[in-house]
Amino acid sequence: MKRKIYLSNTSLSKAQEIFWNAALKKEPGVEEIAVFEAAGRVTAEPVFARLSSPHYHAAAMDGIAVKSSDTFGATATTPLRLRLEENAFYIDTGGSLPPGCDAVIMIEDVFFPDKERPDVIEIREPAAPWQHVRSIGEDIVATEMILPSYHRLRPFDLGALLNGGIFKLNVLRKPRVSLIPTGSELIEPPGEPQPGQIIESNSHVFSAAVREWGAQPKRFPIIRDDSDRLEEVLLKAAEESDLILISAGSSAGRKDFTVKVLDKLGEVLIHGVAIKPGKPVILAMIGSIPVVGLPGYPVAAYVALELFVKPFLYRWQKQTPPKRTVLKSYSSRRVLSSLKEEEYLRLKMGKVEDKFVATPLPRGSGVSMSLVRADGVTTISQNKEGIEPGEEIQVELWRARVEIENTIVCLGSHDLSLDILSDHLKKRYDYTLSSAHLGSMGGIMALKRGETHLAGIHLLDEESGLYNIPYLKRYLPEMELVLVHLAQRELGLMLEKKNRGKITSIEDLAGGNIVFVNRQKGAGTRLYLDFMLKRKGISPADITGYEREEYNHLSVAAAVKAGSADAGLGIRAAAEALGLEFVPLARESYELAVPVSFYNSPKCGALLEVIGSDAFRKAVERMGGYDLTRSGEIVWRSHSDNS
């Protein structure tokens, strides 16, 4: 079976250079459009004014138009009289000066000396030539250049063009981008996918993205794994496009024939770039039309889109690609990175005390939520082995800096109520709650390192049977803290409905017949399990699947739901969300550990207000398994007791 295609490892800058050189040779097209429709478009040539603005001598004030030389000699003691409609003329702002006039006297400075003679006016100082007059061309002189070539039109540019008598202009045609989704496993949305089927989403992302970058997308229907059909569609697309994007099939697998088809129809410039995610990208030309073969995984596809398609489209339109703000930040975790590629790491950000802290998001190229949740991206260069915790990194921001400054960071245990809290907070304040799931102990360590505003924890102390307080005393003895109760929640075993009655206790997990799915080390739920196993004298080795770790309640529930495990430990709300059977084992306190410095901030004030609101309580309790009677209560303050 011949299925190995060589994937090169060309560096990003080299690949980009090769691509620009080949792809940007052709001059962009030009079209004439009305000025009204031109916002956001790019001038194809300089635009010269046809009319001056003003195109006549215009009064800049409401008043009386005069010939200035008629007014010389007027003073407060020797006022001068003029006659309306003879040598003085009422004029409104914007009005055209009557012939012979060269100045305007403001209406406030005009007096009527004789009540019987409303046509006689008096002035008490002379008018300087051209006073209160907008002379011809003050704004724009006919023939002057209003806009140069290759200028992207902003709203007020349209105003200047209209003022200069320009109603139509030549602009660069929008680059036409053909989007070709490929793969027999894809189904068109809306639609209900069967196992092995995937909803085609990438081309819709590409479509929205290239539109944002000034292009006109055209999406083709999904092409099944059929190289003849792909060939046919590519030839058609090449006739009507300035760029072709092929989604998926760019890798080197059995069904990845895109590169072969491109090689047949044109020239493959690059197959494989040393970036991660995004490595299996194809850069090719069909005649003078550039083609980018994008990976099928959504994150890989998007990274390649940003690195190749976005700059191409800006350059095609003769514009400098916009740069995102770069912010100095500190990584909250260690990240190991391959020396084979440059890695684009998505990050959650927050400003804790005076520094910006960045927490890496899941790195899989299939995790589209890592794009959704990202506040920014950092690049780990090819010759770097990774990032140390606390290391200074440069982050390209995906959200406005002010939004990140308005983010409340909550690292620690996962609870579904945090999502609800985040939503309610955002609805009522300009603040965002950003939670990353490190487990309760992870949250405590993040507090210790000053990487989070607060930590969500639920830690049962083996000796005292108390929740949370003993851990804070033990691990954060120096820190001034407030412990705020968020919720009581039910913890228990999640099972498929069919296993109801078969598993009723922790003891039933042992023995090898039941496949379990566990939580990660440091999670409060994991600590509870270990505590119970110890108490009951059960060895972890007796539990099949003990070593399989998931990072939150919903993922455990999903594993059970999918039948890849028979049971997992988690909260009732997660079980109910996925329609699983739930065997309650304990009620635990999920609480927020908040340093006093943050507790006294307006941000925390807003958060506590939302926690105490009826709307939030009701929304959480609706999920099932939650008791919010005491939510918002201060459970404990450090340094205020000596117990």
Site residues (CB under 8 A) for a copy of itself, limited to 559-618: 559, 561-562, 564, 577-578
Does 227 participate in binding a copy of itself (rule CB under 8 A)?
Answer: no
Distances in Å between the Cα of 12 and the Cα atoms of 274, 339, 381, 424 are 6, 14, 11, 42
Q: Are 493 and 576 in contact (CB under 8 A)?
A: no
Q: 78 to 107, contacts with a copy of itself by CB under 8 A?
A: 92-96, 102, 107
Q: Residue 314 or residue 531: which is nearer to a copy of itself going by CB?
A: 314
Does 512 participate in binding a copy of itself (rule CB under 8 A)?
Answer: no
Q: How many residues bind a copy of itself (CB under 8 A)?
A: 118
Pairing of strands 626-627, 168-172: unpaired
Site mask, a copy of itself, residues 104-123, x = CB under 8 A? ---x----------------
Does 368 participate in binding a copy of itself (rule CB under 8 A)?
Answer: yes
Strand boundaries in 371-480, DSSP class E: 376-380, 386-387, 392-397, 407-412, 432-437, 454-457
3-class secondary-structure state, position 460: strand
Does 364 participate in binding a copy of itself (rule CB under 8 A)?
Answer: yes
Does 208 participate in binding a copy of itself (rule CB under 8 A)?
Answer: yes
Q: Residue 73 or residue 579: which is nearer to a copy of itself going by CB?
A: 579
Stretch near a copy of itself under the rule CB under 8 A, chosen from 386-394, 533-541, 549-557, 601-609: 549-557
Burial code (b: 16+ CB inside 10 Å, e: under 16) for 216-249 equals ebebbebbebebeebbebbeebbeebbbbbbbbb
Which of residues 273, 289, 436, 558 is near a copy of itself by CB under 8 A? 558
Does 339 participate in binding a copy of itself (rule CB under 8 A)?
Answer: no
Q: 162 to 201, contacts with a copy of itself by CB under 8 A?
A: 162-163, 165, 167-168, 183, 185, 189-190, 192-193, 195-196, 198-201
Which of residues 109, 263, 419, 609 is near a copy of itself by CB under 8 A? 419
What's the min distance (Å) between Cβ of 541 and a copy of itself?
15
Does 326 participate in binding a copy of itself (rule CB under 8 A)?
Answer: no
Instruction: Determine the Cα angle at 268 with ends 266 and 273, to 5°.
Output: 160
Q: Among all chains, which residue has been given the structure tokens 């004298």? A: 537
Stretch near a copy of itself under the rule CB under 8 A, chosen from 349-357, 378-386, 556-564, 628-636: 556-564
Dist. CA 272–CA 12, nearest whole Å? 10
Dihedral, CA of residue 461, residue 465, residue 469 and residue 471, to nearest 10: -10
- Provide the token pair at 590: 């999920």
What's the min distance (Å) between Cβ of 540 and a copy of itself?
16
What's the min distance (Å) between Cβ of 430 and a copy of itself?
6
Q: Are 177 and 218 in contact (CB under 8 A)?
A: yes
Does 427 participate in binding a copy of itself (rule CB under 8 A)?
Answer: yes
Stretch near a copy of itself under the rule CB under 8 A, chosen from 10-18, 525-533, 557-565, 605-613: 557-565
Dist. CA 258–CA 262, nearest whole Å? 6
Q: Is 170 exposed, middle or buried (0-12, 13-18, 19+ CB in 10 A)?
A: middle
What's the min distance (Å) between Cβ of 344 and a copy of itself?
13
501: left (phi over 0), alpha (psi -120 to 50) or beta: left
Q: 30 to 69, contacts with a copy of itself by CB under 8 A?
A: 35-36, 39-40, 46, 51-57, 60, 62
Q: Among all chains, which residue has been given the structure tokens 């081309």? A: 203
Does 221 participate in binding a copy of itself (rule CB under 8 A)?
Answer: no
Q: Residue 166 or residue 380: which is nearer to a copy of itself going by CB?
A: 166
Is the dihedral angle over the CA atoms 194, 196, 197, 199 positive or is it negative?
positive
Which of residues 170, 207, 338, 379 is near a copy of itself by CB under 8 A? 207
Q: Residue 369 or residue 634: which is nearer to a copy of itself going by CB?
A: 369
Strand boundaries in 243-325, DSSP class E: 243-247, 267-271, 275-276, 282-286, 289-294
Q: 250 to 269, contacts with a copy of itself by CB under 8 A?
A: 251, 253-255
Q: Is 396 exposed, middle or buried (0-12, 13-18, 19+ CB in 10 A)?
A: middle
Bond into 54 cis (ω within 30)? yes
What's the min distance (Å) between Cβ of 30 and a copy of itself?
13
Stretch near a copy of itself under the rule CB under 8 A, chosen from 81-89, 205-213, 258-266, 584-592: 205-213
Which of residues 67, 132, 134, 348 is near a copy of itself by CB under 8 A? 134
Site mask, a copy of itself, residues 491-510, x = CB under 8 A? --------------------
Distances in Å between the Cα of 560 and the Cα atoms of 100, 131, 149, 500, 586 are 92, 84, 62, 13, 20
Q: 371 to 390, contacts with a copy of itself by CB under 8 A?
A: 371-372
- Provide the token pair at 295: 């990976």
